[in-house]
């Protein structure tokens, strides 16, 4: 525990005793059964665990895509327990950026236009200089005018990462972001996350079935049966 990075700032995400239960006939499924954790700026956290461990449920709660049945969840200092869907949308905006296993790029839009798409929903003005600056950060400046079909899988995922950054998100939530990539591109995506954490003081929370990639994070959380089985600090990285 002496190797833990000292962080002075308040956590961007703070969860205490999160529970999420589902009914399956007469059976109650405890998808999450009392999970507590904190996510700070400037750290990358990976969440590991087998299917059914609660990874997806936890990510949905941390993403404000769902609300917990019990427990407390604060995102940027705001409680989201028991709030409406409209309020969850408000919490997500400007705080959380998302990267998924599937790239979800619109095929008729250029790389730059795909990156700028969240700004339309946020009703913010497009700043092409900012777009190009973010594309430089993900090494895609020379692809700004290309369509998704002209990109490799690794490049498409980097476009998705740039799209998550365009709204100045404090936290990037990445759910199996390397699931559709080969080993080399998967490693490149994790290396990019690590660089962005350092350069932009982002928080990155990522799920993966690839334990070797997961070990590249500052902190590795392993779930089992809806509970945290293990939480490990990667002192070699810190």
Q: Percent of the chain having pLDDT more than 90?
A: 61
Give the separation between CA 12 and CA 29, rounded to whole angstroms: 29
Q: Which residue has the tokens 């293990």?
A: 230
Helix (H) or strand (E) holding 98: strand 96-100
Question: What is the sign of the dihedral through the CA atoms of 154, 210, 163 and 139?
Answer: negative
Give the separation between CA 5 and CA 111, rounded to whole angstroms: 36
pLDDT tops 80 at residue 238: no
Say if CB 111 and CB 146 are below 8 A apart: yes
Copy the structure tokens of residue 218: 């500052």
* Most confident residue range from 19-23, 51-55, 123-127, 158-162: 158-162
Model confidence pLDDT, tens digit, residues 9-28: 689 999 999 999 988 888 88
Range list of H helices, 8-137: 55-62, 85-92, 111-122, 128-137
Residues in contact with 66: Cβ distance below 8 Å, sequence separation at least 6, in sequence order: 20, 57, 60
Give the separation between CA 98 and CA 149, rounded to whole angstroms: 21
What's the pLDDT score for residue 2? Answer: 39
Mean pLDDT, residues 181-190 taken together: 90
Question: What is the sign of the dihedral through the CA atoms of 222, 15, 9 and 188?
Answer: positive
Mean pLDDT, residues 124-146 taken together: 93
What is the reported pTM? 0.87
Nearest residue to 126 via CA among 115, 137, 142? 115
Nearest residue to 123 via CA among 89, 98, 148? 89
List, as one string, the DSSP characters of 130-177.
HHHHHHHHTT-GGGTT--GGGS-HHHHHHHHHHHHHTT--SEEEEEST
pLDDT tops 80 at residue 133: yes
Q: Which residue has the tokens 């490693």?
A: 187
Say if CB 149 and CB 182 are below 8 A apart: no
Model confidence pLDDT, tens digit, residues 199-225: 999 999 999 888 999 999 999 999 999
Domains, the chain, ranges and CATH? 40-61+84-233 (3.40.50.300)
Say if CB 158 and CB 138 are below 8 A apart: yes
Say if CB 57 and CB 20 are below 8 A apart: yes
């Amino acid at each position: 525990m002496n190797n833990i990075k000292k962080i002075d700032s308040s956590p961007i995400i703070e969860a205490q005793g999160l529970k999420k239960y589902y009914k399956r006939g007469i059976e109650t499924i405890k998808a999450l059964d009392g999970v507590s954790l904190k996510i700070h700026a400037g750290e990358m956290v990976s969440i590991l665990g087998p299917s059914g461990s609660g990874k997806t449920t936890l990510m949905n709660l941390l993403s404000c895509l769902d609300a917990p049945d019990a427990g407390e969840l604060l995102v940027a200092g705001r409680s989201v327990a028991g709030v409406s869907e409209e309020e969850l949308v408000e919490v997500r905006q400007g705080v959380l950026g998302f990267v998924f296993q599937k790239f979800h790029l619109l095929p008729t839009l250029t790389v730059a236009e795909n990156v700028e798409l969240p700004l339309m929903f946020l009703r913010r003005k497009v700043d092409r200089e900012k777009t190009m600056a973010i594309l430089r950060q993900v090494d895609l400046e020379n692809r700004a005018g290309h369509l998704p079909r002209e990109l490799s899988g690794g490049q498409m995922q980097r476009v998705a990462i740039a799209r998550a950054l365009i709204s100045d998100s404090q936290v990037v939530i990445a759910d199996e972001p390397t699931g559709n990539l080969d080993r080399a591109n998967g490693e490149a995506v994790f290396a990019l996350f690590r660089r962005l954490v350092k350069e932009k003081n982002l928080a990155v929370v990522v799920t993966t079935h690839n334990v070797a990639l997961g070990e590249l994070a500052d902190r590795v959380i392993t779930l089992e049966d809806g509970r945290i089985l293990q939480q490990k600090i990667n002192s070699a990285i810190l």
